[in-house]
Amino acid sequence: MSCQNCNKDRIVSVNAKCSDMFSASQYVSKFELQSRYNGYVPEKLGIGKGDYIKFAYCMDCGMIQNNAFPLKLESIAYLDLKICDKCDEEFPKQYMAILSTNKPPYREVWVCENCKPFYLSINKT
């Protein structure tokens, strides 16, 4: 196997099991955190999925060896999408609003920013 970038044959295969202990952070500068993801390994990152991290890289140029790169994700915030309980649209978890109904049985709902006013109006006592 040779590198997709430099054609050298010094390829290292990496395999790890981390269950739901995976963490990724994205910075906009050296000290400014843009977003953070914790949970299972997201397939959209191109380094594995579920419980497993699995990829190969070149020891000469450092290129990860697969066809996932460059990533088309704007931000890792979009790795953890939720479904709005009202409109069924996907939205990033960082924009969530978890609201619980004020009458038993209590339950949490996931709502996007657009539907948040609707749930705030029905939660008033």
pTM here is: 0.56
DSSP letter string, 15-83: EEE-TT-EEEEEESSSS-EEEEEEESBPGGGSSEEBTEEEEEEETTT--B-SS-PSP--S-GGGGSEEE
DSSP letter string, 85-109: TTT--EEEGGG-EEEE-SSSSP-EE
pLDDT in tens, 80-121: 667 777 777 766 665 555 455 555 555 566 677 777 766 655
pLDDT in tens, 10-28: 999 999 999 878 888 888 7
Q: Which of 100, 102, 96, 94 is nearest to 125 (CA)?
A: 102
Q: Where are the domains of the chain?
A: 11-77, 81-122
